[in-house]
Structures are given as structure tokens and as C-alpha cells.
Amino acid sequence: MDKIGIIVDNDSPKSLAMAMNLGHTALASDTEVFVYFTFDGLTHLLEGETDVTEIQPLLDAGMPNPYDLLAAFVAEGGDLVTTVACTTTLDMLEWDQDAIDESVTTKFAGAATFLEEVEDAEQVFTF
């Protein structure tokens, strides 16, 4: 089975949209996807309201909401999808794991786990 890794380290909804577009495309090809949310990218996994004002014109033009894409990616991806909240970032920012939305987070782990998981990946992308 093929595998890719995706690092999301940016809080821009555009970055999440690109990561999810790539992730959904990989799933359509039965490719395993390991997504590591770290630094500012970890904000995409927070529970609560999401701010999409930065991309509102794109949404108005028909682009899917990247947070809806993330939810569908996790819900529909099954065993092919792993989404990881970086525990090192949580510790540095002094955020509690309870602040993370577990409906879109399948694992809590650090960089060592990410490196182990993507060791056999064909590609690793960063957004």
C-alpha cells in the first residue's frame, strides 16, 4: 500500500484546504495518509468556531469549507487516515488536550512518532 505524509504547520485555512485536497485525492487512490498538525497548524484541530474570513471569497465562489473537508477526511478515511495533534506543541503552548477536537484527531504524538510513521512514505508534503 502507498503512503504519504502531510505536515500542517500553518494556521491559514488555505493551507488546510490544500492539505485536505491532497489528502482526499490520496484516499481516492487507496493511499494511506498520515497528517501531522504542529505549531500554528494545530489550531485547525481546536474545538469550537473556526474563522474562515480569510477565504470567504473563495467559499462564496464554491470552494468547499476546509473544516468540512477535514471532518469528512477523518470520517470517511477509516484505517487509511491518521491525524495527529503534536504533543510537543501542546506542551509548549500550554494547551490542554481537552481543547483538541477528537472527532478530527485520531492520535496525540510527537515528532519521533511522525518520523517513524512516514519512514516508508513515498512523499511528505508541508502546508
Q: Note the pLDDT tens digit of each residue in 7-64.
A: 999 999 999 999 999 999 999 999 999 999 999 999 999 999 899 999 999 999 999 9
Residue 4 has pLDDT above 90, yes or no: yes
Average pLDDT of the segment spanning 59-80: 97
**Average pLDDT taken over every residue of the chain:** 96
Q: Are 123 and 29 in contact (CB under 8 A)?
A: no
Provide the domain limits for residue 9: 3-126
Residue 1 has pLDDT above 90, yes or no: no
> What whole-number distance in Å separates Cα of residue 109 and Cα of residue 84?
6
> What whole-number distance in Å separates Cα of residue 5 and Cα of residue 7?
7
* Domain tally, the chain: 1
> What whole-number distance in Å separates Cα of residue 3 and Cα of residue 36?
14
- What CATH number does the domain containing 94 carry? 3.40.1260.10
Angle made by CA atoms 90, 95, 101, in degrees to the nearest 5: 85
Helix, strand or coil, per DSSP, at residue 25: helix
Average pLDDT of the segment spanning 60-85: 97
Average pLDDT of the segment spanning 107-118: 96
